[in-house]
Amino acid sequence: MDTSRLTQKNATEWVLEPHGTMRVPGVLFADEQLIREMDDQVLDQVAGVASLPGIVTAAFTMPDAHWGYGFPIGGVAAFDAHKGGVVSAGGVGFDISCGVRTALTKMHVDEIRPKLEKLANLLLARIPAGVGSTGTLKLNAKELDDMLTGGAAWAVQRGFGTARDLARIENHGCIAEAEPAQVSQNAKSRQFDEMGTLGSGNHYLELQEIVEIYDEKIAAAYGLRVGEVAVSLHCGSRGLGHQVATDFSKRMVAAAARHGIALPDRELACAPIHSDEGRAYLGAMSAAINCALANRQILLELVRRTWHEVFRGVDMELLYDVSHNTCKQEEVAVDGRPQRLWVHRKGATRAFGPGHPELPPELRAVGQPVLIGGTMGTASYILAGTTESATHAFSSACHGAGRAMSRTQALKRWQGRAVMDDLAHRGIEIRTSSYRGIAEEAPGAYKDVDRVVAVTQAAGLSRQVAKLIPLACVKG
């Protein structure tokens, strides 16, 4: 990236001053190495986001940011509906409510390692993964609408998990504003047999060893101990969410023109939040969020049942489930005053700090778990939201390592079988239905997650709590 366009505010914050049609500045959180490694298009996209009507404070990007559709991935922006603020399908993304769910086994790695290969094989057999994968749960039209309304709570009612899981899910597992009627029949048709499926791309199911604790107090509150094993799921709203984004990206181009919005980029197609189109998208997007929450709830229960086949009587407690790729109305502080704004997070994680009323009582004193996925060959992290993040970037943090190269570039550089063999030599069991997918997701195709997380902490966006390394990974 050409840093001459930026003003460096401090070691982890860079500012793109307003110019042209920009209404607010752009703020990028990164150290010098990360900022120089970012795509040049990221700055153009930040400037485009900062030009949208009703944007408040700044257009932010997280340390893992890279070029995306409309908004950069790692982009955060909040809009005031009472000042013409807009909602953009490109500002949420195509994998609506893609997110991470982490559960704790309370078992030491030494207990699990002798049966690791068996576990990996069983998980591949029990967890549908890959492009076009289908699950054993088949829904009719009414059941699908009930799922889109009920989210994870619907899944619990169907026997997938327990009610105590819901307290550890963002929004208690259900977005009340969901409107299934705003979801097209085409989108719904893609989801009738995809519930309880992992999907492909960067989605995964991973067994992880907790190898380092950075904050003993928060780790104790979260139930994290060195040497114990966690299970993390990364997936989203599958075909339904992608189709919702596709449908509304097209509709919003026409909506923007009707409402007199000059788009700096067609991919930033949007509609006023209080318009018919804006309300329709928010209803459909909320339904897609519920779809993702229900999907992850079903998947966790499938993992639990598989786990019980190998380790009978072992419970698996949900630590937390948090989404990226959302737009939600939240109370945020602007110039010291609370306001209700619509916060877009695309490839960025909500990171509420200590004392936030939406957190479970047992976590409120230490802040929200922020779950950061790395790669199948490096590390993942558990962070905690901070009070400072509320004033820095609307209580937002990075969501992962962030791609350093495109999937096409990765395919030219790596072969899937070779990547799997290399990881096997390091004791990491990889299971997949697609060697191509493994090559696309090679660890070297991503940024240095350790650096991304270090910058996230240094910038005050979240606090490091624990580091986890992969033991086994199921990929689509």
d(CA 28, CA 294): 33
DSSP 8-state class, residue 225: -
Torsion of CA 442, 444, 445, 446, to 10 degrees: 110
Q: To 10 degrees, what angle do helices 116-126 and 276-310 make?
A: 140
Exposed (0-12), middle (13-18) or buried (19+): which is 395, by Cβ within 10 Å?
buried
Of 340, 253, 327, 255, nearest in space to 288 by CA: 327
What is the biggest distance separating any 2 CA atoms in the chain, rounded to whole angstroms? 64
Residue 17 pairs in a beta bridge with none
DSSP 8-state class, residue 89: G
d(CA 292, CA 289): 5
- Which residues make Cβ contacts (< 8 Å) with residue 169, sequence separation at least 6? 101, 152, 293, 297, 318, 320, 321
Task: Please name the amino acid found at residue 150.
Answer: G
Helix H or strand E segment including 265: none
Alpha helices in 89-140 (DSSP H): 109-112, 116-126
Known catalytic membership, residue 425:
no
Catalytic residue from among 234, 344, 356, 399: 399
3-class SS at 326? strand
Point out the residues that are catalytic. 399
